[in-house]
Chains A and B, each alone.
Chain A
Amino acid sequence: EIVLTQSPGTLSLSPGERATLSCRASQSVSGTYLAWYQQKPGQAPRLLIYGASSGATGIPDRFSGSGSGTHFTLTISRLEPEDFAVYYCQQYGSSPLTFGGGTKVEIK
């Protein structure tokens, strides 16, 4: 099973700042089959990025993904007030599917 470790656990930033979230895999994720999701309290998770770097439909271009192998990054170029949330990575290249433990982006 591929274990995904997200860091930091909590990121304290101000609106307008750049956020860089890390997702590290215990073994290589085949085919860059990695997705990122955003989750706000009481809301459904929302798909942001798939294939490590492809933006999902309707996602603002301030969200970008990069990486391959065992290290992936989600970058939010300029934080908007609505971006403060928890973010999860998920690998779908190997069975079983696995998720990271999440990074909470909070207002500083």
Chain B
Amino acid sequence: EVQLVESGGGLVQPGGSLRLSCAASGFTFSYSDMHWLRQAPGKGLEWVSYITYSSSPIYYADSVKGRFTISRDNAKNSLYLQMNSLRAEDTAVYYCATDAGGNRPYWYFDLWGRGTLVTVSS
């Protein structure tokens, strides 16, 4: 089955860190550009970060630049998001998603996971 499964969410204090994982199966992960997106409670969707199949280049939303780090391990079919210096406004469900493009990114998303909830609160 083609799927993405996120894990690693939870409750963390402001200023703390968390590492999210996304396990891919059913498709050739090593050929796929990947994204992280998030959705705050009761809010719309927000793009967070992008990584190519080869791990370069990488892009971040301004709201997380300098605090979050995206990475991947193609041998493990896994995508990661290291989140440091977390703030209350980072509270959201975090989704991993595949870019719909092939030879170049298309910047829309054709496969999503169900998400993992990150809550930043004291």
Contacts and interface: CB of A to CB of B under 8 A. Distances in A.
Given A45-B112, A47-B108, A88 B100 contact: no
B45 A92 contact: no
Interface residues of B, number: 21
A99 B108 contact: no
Nearest to A102: B44
Interface string A78-108: 0000000000101010001101111000000
Contacts of B95: 44-45
Contacts of A50: 100, 106, 108
A88 B45 contact: yes
B107 A97 contact: yes
A47 B109 CA distance: 7
B45 A44 contact: no
A92 B106 contact: yes
B24 interface: no
A98 B45 CA distance: 8
B45 A96 contact: no
Contacts of B4: 44
Contacts of B97: 45
Given A44-B95, A45-B109, 7 more contacts: A44-B111, A44-B113, A45-B112, A90-B45, A90-B108, A92-B107, A96-B47
Interface of B: 4, 43-47, 61-62, 95, 97, 100, 106-115
Interface of A: 33, 35, 37, 42-47, 50, 56-57, 88, 90, 92, 96-97, 99-102
29 contacts: A33-B108, A35-B108, A42-B114, A44-B4, A44-B95, A44-B112, A44-B113, A44-B114, A44-B115, A45-B45, A45-B95, A45-B97, A45-B109, A45-B112, A46-B112, A47-B100, A47-B109, A47-B110, A50-B106, A57-B110, A88-B44, A90-B45, A90-B108, A92-B106, A96-B47, A97-B107, A99-B44, A99-B46, A101-B44
